[in-house]
Structure 1
Amino acid sequence: MAVAQVCGRNLAREYTSVALTRLKYLLRTSEHEEVRAAALTTLKSLLGDADLSARVLKTLVDWTAPERNTSEKGGSSHTAFLDVFALDDTESSASPVPLLLNAEAEHGEAVRELLREGWQATWRRPEQRERAAEVLGQWCDAAEAGELPGDAVEDVVAVIFSAQVDVMGGELDRLIAGTAPFRTQLRTRLFEVVREMAARGAAASTHSAV
């Protein structure tokens, strides 16, 4: 736990790569839940720092991708993206999600693009898709309650639609089921994505036939 705390803002500001590498090592090797929790808390704190958030978020996205060496012992850094962005009512004030989704100007767009990349990478890992639907469903619930910006959450969900539009299973149900206006809007967005992808596929087929 002490190592995770040392990797907080002071070390991260001066030696960002070193701090993130140490946190990744803790997540991959520690079999103690309290150590993993401390590492995740540090990551949340770093994501809440506007000067570091984009760098840390990019690192989390990179961790989500499959690695060459899959012989991990203990924990895993692959799930850090989901672990960090799950909304926990008991520590909602510690969540970096509202700050990231409400970021403005160029920084906000860069952060939102990284979030889209991270969710897309996570959704493409079949073993994580069920939990990804659960966590992203929490974002949808928060958007319905006015706790998160609906436009930003919709942009993220639209990426999921594009990545997995051919898998209309229970995971998508967690995101689009219900009668609330936000869920209705998401279903409309899904249908738009389906039409767009179908149109692109038809255009590609026509082009290849010429």
Structure 2
Amino acid sequence: MLDRQPPQPSAGQAFSTPTAGRTPGRTASATLPAVQPLPPAKPVRLRIPAINVNAPMTKLDLDRAGALRPPPADNPNLAGWYGEGTAPGSAGTAVTTGHVDMHTGRPGVFYELGALTKGDTIEISRADGRTAVFTVAAVEVYDKERFPNDKVYGSSDLPELRVITCGGYVNDTGYQGNVVVYATLTAVKQPNGHFLAG
């Protein structure tokens, strides 16, 4: 069993201003300079240097209720992405998810996700050889009963990313919410190693 609960984001990592009234088509993380969106390509690996994540990615779909299925439970170091949605790096809101911990008591790929802070980077290697580099704009935790679907999943004309895992742990009842990381594409590493930055 784990000897501690996963870190949760502090209030200081939340958005500092309300998102209501923003330009239509731009969602909550559209506060960072973004580079030009990339054409769609399959994501193959996700890295978050600040919390030592280096994980292969797998395509996820929706269940009958319309909820995103989690990655398989037999591989704690696996991140998933919603394959019918936006590809990471393309214009729109790409969604990735992974386990915070496993039924065996082992930590999952996103055990430390709540420890991320504004300005941290998330890198996603793609099948086209490019690496999409996202910068974290905010980290928030929501109760499952009041999950802000429009804010988290809303469409955008910018290349944005959401990284989601379980959060809000309560003794005896388990996870009652979700940690959500909001990030925007701010650089692209080309196959030749050159960077394009916003």
Instruction: Tell me whether the two structures share a fold, i.e. TM-score over 0.5.
Output: no
Greater Rg, structure 1 or structure 2?
1
TM value normalised by structure 2: 0.26
TM value normalised by structure 1: 0.25
Judging by fraction of residues, say which structure has more helix.
1
Kindly indicate whether structure 1 or structure 2 has the higher relative contact order, using CA contacts under 8 Å at least 6 residues apart. Answer: 2
Judging by fraction of residues, say which structure has more strand.
2
